[in-house]
Structure 1
Amino acid sequence: MISIAETDPPLPGLSLGASLLRGAPRSYAILFFSANARLGWWLMAVSMLAPDYGISGLAGVLTAGALAWWLGYDHAQIRSGFLLFNPLLVCLTVAYLNRCYHFATPTFLLLWAASVIGAFFVSAALQRWAGLLLGLSAHSLPAVAAAYVLYFLGFSLFGPPSLPDSSTPVWLDLPGLPPFLQAMFQAFGAMLFQPHVVPGMMVFLGLALTSPLSTLAASLSFTVGAATMWQLGFHLGPEGVTWCGFNFLLCGIALGSGYFIASAASLALAMSGAFLCSLTSVALATALRYFNLPASALPYNLVVLAMVTALRARRSAGALLPSPSPGSLPESAVQQVLIDAQRFPDLKTPALFSPVGALCTVTQSFDDTLTHRGLWRYALDFEVEKEGRKCRSDGSSLVDYFIFGVPVLAPCSGVVANIVNHVTDNAPGGNNPEENWGNYIVIYSDAGYYVMLAHLQQHSATVFVGQRVSRGFVLGTCGNSGRSPFPHLHLQIQDTALAGSASRPFCLKHYLAPGGNGMFFRTSGVPAAGTRVQSGTPHPTLSETLHGWLPGEYRYRISEEEGRVREETLLLDFDDFGRYRWRSRRTHARLIGFISEGVFFTTEFQGDHRSLLAYFAAGLARVPSVLEPSVVWEDSVNATPFFAGPERLIRALTTPFIGLKMLRYKYQRQDENEGSFTLRATLEPGRECAQAPRNITTLLTGRRGVTRLEARLVNDRTLIAELLEHQTVGG
């Protein structure tokens, strides 16, 4: 019951009927913190086991959707089901009260219509209020509030409600089942107003097939909540737990796998929430009994909103990592966080480009032995070496040093915040501790931090305070001013624009370092002292090829050993962020690709090895557009899609607790004729799994993207994919 982003492609011209066809099932799935339409259809079918409930709820969803459309609400909120799930719950409540009071048909229709309209507006208002004030969803509080109004209205018009009529067959509650399991499955069914074992088992099955982690979190939380109720003197069975048990399930899903990445810590939080929820349920039931009201879902709403709001005041995430995309499958969210941690370890660290265009040597790094200590521990010093020497002849003159006079480039875009330009350069071996930083320039970067470049040559600054500079702009030249016995360039990120401010951790990004028989490309890192680094030269043709991949349909012929041939059509378009988005028409697999500062990445693969997109994800994981030949780079790829059957399910359940298996590949590029490029990926030894490719060779061609892919699998099978046809559409 959190705000869930639409997962379908943008469809601005979609009709009301088509929007409701997408939004109606998701309004059911949102009850379980999911955007999965298949789960929604399943839950809708389960609700129809009691036709009066099912029809009332579905009609409420469709009517609320039509009302939102007519009033001009965002159609994406209709398609996502976010505006519809509270009216669904209220209409289920009306059906429940109808069984209690046996309304005349006109009375029922009047109450039902009022419930749809009232629930819609209360939901829209409370969702907006909670979003603006707390940055959270209002969950099902609007439905609880509307339900209480209905209870009061029914009491004032018809007196106290009687127990609802039930002609449910006895077998729906499976009397032979242990009482605890009866109570748990009835709690699952109660979320659709069907507190019986068989409907509950169907709900449990649908959730388990969709998200095993959500099912695990819900089951553990129910166990803790039920055990607490038992300690309070309630029977550990349907009569003692079912009336409030669905609150425990919702707490488990929300805290264990909804708002936070599923982990041992999130499960502990979920069980703590269930413990508090059981106590809150008893307290609220006692208080509300005087008003003839049930506790309903109020305990879960209060506990979850309180805990999540409190946890948002933390200074750091600690062991409880927020979900990157609430509403996505917990399994996908866990994998994405763990994958990003391995692929992009410096993702949240300020990153700078090298301030020297030429190949240079880092002579001091973080926490080094000379001057990078204490407040200034996070800094890098650069010098230029040629054939192991820093200077010509004996180095008695500043111009003998290769770094002296070399242009200093802006390592980021921003605004010049401070400049000192008058300090005289020291003679080699000299020093000026009174003007420690010498000539320097401080830039306030667009990312919100201050970057200082120090020991510049006297009167070499080409900028002024307040001037805007772009990354790579020439700021001045390297010198030997300040506390600097020999020419070098000092780089650090600091707290303020004043010289001497405390430094802060950062990293270099997109740099080349010599290694083996060529240059090794690093997306980010902190080079150690003695490391030689160089900024890569942009490769215009490769960049054009990666940027020019046209949207449309791409039909591939896939040949495997033993003469097996199949076809797969991939649909390519762009998402709202301008990223490439591939979808397989055959397997429904999905893949995202994007370009950031000259590097192409693939990410967020959903599917398994049966789709060609799994090999796109591995073969094109990272492609830097650098001109230098013999460039080598590495990346990690999620191994989960290459497992099959039970092993994949087991890994999905255990990943949050034992970690994610990754495949480590080394990549090389070969430039072909006419703007084509061959990329070769080789799996690092010791990282194999059964269906994973050991080698992938991918041919990239301008505007058509991947025209040929050959993969040699760990089990020695070979897969070859060739582009047969592509039909492009306007971007």
Structure 2
Amino acid sequence: FKSLSAILFQYHLFAGLLLAVGLIYYSRIAFLMSLIGFYSAFAFYKIIGANISELNYSYIGFNYILTAIAVGGFFIVPSKRATMWVIFLTPLVAITLNGTAFVFVNFGLSVYSLPFNLIVILFLYVLKFRERHLDKLTPVLIPLYSPEKNAYGHTSYMKRFGTLPWFSVKLPFWGEWKITQSHDGEITHREEWRHAFDFEIVDDEGKTYEGEGLHAGDYYCFGKPVTASADGVIEEIENEVADNAVGDINMEKNWGNSIVIKHGDHFYSQVSHLKKGSLTIAVGQTVKQGEKIALCGNSGRSPYPHLHLQFQATPFIGSHTLSYPFSSYVVRENGNFEYNTARIPNNKQLVSNAVPDITLQHAFHLIPGATLQYIVNDEIFVWEVESDPYNNTYIQCTNTGSRAWFKSGVDVFYFTGYEGKKDTLLYYFYLAAFKVSISFYKKLELSDQYPLTIFPNRWIQGIQDFAIPFVKFLRADYLLVYDQLDDQSTNRKVVLRSSATFGVGQSIRQQYQFKMECSARGLVRFEVNTGKNVIIAEKQ
């Protein structure tokens, strides 16, 4: 505690205790890291044989503590690896501390926090040069000024979007297709070309063709539109390779008719085996995501019509492939639908891009300047949609002052944060519509995880705060079910049901049930069941 008091240039037990209490209140992770930083330094000095009692308090004090807090949770997302680096950096801080002190003493100066600044800045700078294992030690990209928010926000983000890349890519076709060869395929997706997909269209019986399938035109996918997976510029094309007879292949032009699109630096997509003469684009032309660029064919090393897709780092046809997830897609299996984000689909799955639903678009297309009014037990709640100087959008309740931050895209609406009391109508809406795909598939289930910063029990959350760098035992689960579509009446209606479940391990401590009714007027009715009472809000 005396070493902790050195942060305020004191050397007193009481000052250290006050700082410790304040640090625990501000951040349990920061307090934990301060202990790890101090005792790592203590152990290091013991190992090298230094006499702790003879050292000035600044040597064993705040430089180690501040370095541990910075690396263990403030600039780096708290984790086991971040904690290990706190320990590994201790000798460097000691060497820097003693070296700079030896120089500064000749000028009558103290090093103060110089070693802390040098080591932390250098460490963060070196991390920028990593080319691999970027997810093993994650820098904080958006400062939240709280190690807990950094940890829980990162955990929630990874669950929601996983390895969601900088570029949003979609499936390169319209409608539903079957993956007939995925990554590490049994036929051609091997070695440097193992990260690729083959797609075909199948009927209800699983067949890829009608009749006897003796001609390319018998196959359902032959001649179907191929689209751009993402916005980009046409980099290279091949359009003159003849389509094969069924069962034959062209090994000389094995990629067949192909298109390579540049989406960003060192990121390209390639579609191959296209129909001869079907390309509707030219090199240098700009294309938009979902824009038709060619027709599926049977050219190159393709005994049967199919569409090949791969992502790559270089602009040439046939480049080595990259493993890259789709931003979103829908899987149909046994009549059930599953919405996926930032994943790589599996072989044999039936996949499609989510088709926007016009009613859900009306309900969740919230633009700055809009005002929503809901009445609950004769009290009117007013929600205003606003944006900050950084174009981050949020809903603010004028009654309670609470805010819910959100993102609204073409095919998905999701909340990113909440500020305010946890018993307001806006808070319940934040829980109910935490993530919504703007498409309707009967009984489709969409799951997600809330950040643990909203866990209802602060004492239990406080224990989790201490443990989160090492283990996560709390859960905050979100589930959305697309329940009902009334498309027969003039007033089209979509009903969504969702739940928020908070628990410790497998046990449930609190659960909320929600029902949202949407029409052309937007979200017209919202029901909340807290387990103790039912709240019904209707749009004015």
Tell me if the contact between 1:607 and 1:641 (Cα under 8 Å) persists in the aligned partners: no
Tell me if the contact between 1:410 and 1:475 (Cα under 8 Å) persists in the aligned partners: yes
CA distance in 1, matches of 2:34, 2:280: 62
CA distance in 2, matches of 1:351, 1:571: 29
CA distance in 2, matches of 1:279, 1:496: 44
Change in 2 beyond 3 A, CA 1:605/1:646: same
Tell me if the contact between 2:296 and 2:306 (Cα under 8 Å) persists in the aligned partners: yes
Residue equivalent to 1:131 = none
Alpha-carbon deviations, 1:452-496, whole Å to 9, x = none? Answer: 111111111111111111112211211111111111111111232
Tell me if the contact between 1:443 and 1:450 (Cα under 8 Å) persists in the aligned partners: yes
Q: Which of structures 1 and 2 has the larger relative contact order (alpha carbons within 8 angstroms, sep 6+)? A: 2
Alpha-carbon deviations, 1:581-618, whole Å to 9, x = none? Answer: 24567887653210133210112345674454543333
Tell me if the contact between 2:228 and 2:293 (Cα under 8 Å) persists in the aligned partners: yes
CA distance in 2, matches of 1:606, 1:722: 21
Residue equivalent to 1:422 = 240
Tell me if the contact between 2:165 and 2:325 (Cα under 8 Å) persists in the aligned partners: no
Once the 2 structures are TM-superposed, how far is the Cα of residue 553 of structure 1 from its aligned partner?
7.5
CA distance in 2, matches of 1:585, 1:642: 24
Tell me if the contact between 2:330 and 2:351 (Cα under 8 Å) persists in the aligned partners: yes
Residue equivalent to 2:22 = 206
CA distance in 1, matches of 2:245, 2:147: 62
Structure 1, gaps ≥5 residues long: 1-180, 560-564, 726-731
Tell me if the contact between 2:478 and 2:498 (Cα under 8 Å) persists in the aligned partners: no
Once the 2 structures are TM-superposed, how far is the Cα of residue 348 of structure 1 from its aligned partner?
2.7
Alpha-carbon deviations, 1:526-581, whole Å to 9, x = none? Answer: 2222211222322234223322356578787778xxxxx99987664213343332
2:212 counterpart (394, 405, 412): 394
Task: For 1:452-491, list aligned pairs within 5 A.
Answer: 452-491=270-309
1:411 counterpart (221, 229, 235): 229
Change in 2 beyond 3 A, CA 1:512/1:243: closer
Larger radius of gyration: 1
Once the 2 structures are TM-superposed, how far is the Cα of residue 724 of structure 1 from its aligned partner?
8.2
1:623 counterpart (428, 436, 451): 436
2:481 counterpart (648, 667, 673): 667
Alpha-carbon deviations, 1:701-722, whole Å to 9, x = none? Answer: 67775752313x5xx4344152
Residue aligned with 2:337, SS: strand
Check if 1:250 corresponds to 2:55.
no
Bigger share in strand? 2
Alpha-carbon deviations, 1:38-92, whole Å to 9, x = none? Answer: xxxxxxxxxxxxxxxxxxxxxxxxxxxxxxxxxxxxxxxxxxxxxxxxxxxxxxx
Structure 2, gaps ≥5 residues long: none
Tell me if the contact between 1:324 and 1:337 (Cα under 8 Å) persists in the aligned partners: no
Once the 2 structures are TM-superposed, how far is the Cα of residue 248 of structure 1 from its aligned partner?
2.1
Residue equivalent to 2:416 = 603
2:153 counterpart (326, 336, 353): 336
Check if 1:644 corresponds to 2:461.
no
Residue aligned with 1:435, SS: coil
Check if 1:689 corresponds to 2:508.
yes
Once the 2 structures are TM-superposed, how far is the Cα of residue 628 of structure 1 from its aligned partner?
5.1
Residue equivalent to 1:273 = 89
Alpha-carbon deviations, 1:508-540, whole Å to 9, x = none? Answer: 343222235443322343222221122232223
Change in 2 beyond 3 A, CA 1:469/1:440: same
Q: 412-421 vs 504-513, which deviates more?
A: 504-513
Residue aligned with 2:468, SS: helix
Residue equivalent to 1:322 = 139
CA distance in 2, matches of 1:253, 1:222: 11
Residue equivalent to 1:219 = 35
Residue aligned with 1:486, SS: coil
Residue equivalent to 2:201 = 384
Amino acid at match of 2:498: A
Residue aligned with 1:280, SS: helix
Change in 2 beyond 3 A, CA 1:678/1:574: farther
Change in 2 beyond 3 A, CA 1:198/1:706: farther
Change in 2 beyond 3 A, CA 1:253/1:553: farther
Alpha-carbon deviations, 1:645-679, whole Å to 9, x = none? Answer: 42111012212211363415142154567576432
Tell me if the contact between 2:514 and 2:526 (Cα under 8 Å) persists in the aligned partners: no
Tell me if the contact between 2:366 and 2:408 (Cα under 8 Å) persists in the aligned partners: no
Residue aligned with 1:207, SS: helix
Tell me if the contact between 1:336 and 1:604 (Cα under 8 Å) persists in the aligned partners: no
Q: RMSD between aligned alpha carbons?
A: 3.2
> TM-score under structure 2 normalisation?
0.87
Residue aligned with 2:477, SS: strand
Once the 2 structures are TM-superposed, how far is the Cα of residue 373 of structure 1 from its aligned partner?
1.3
Residue identity (%): 27
Tell me if the contact between 1:363 and 1:381 (Cα under 8 Å) persists in the aligned partners: yes
> TM-score under structure 1 normalisation?
0.66
Once the 2 structures are TM-superposed, how far is the Cα of residue 451 of structure 1 from its aligned partner?
1.1
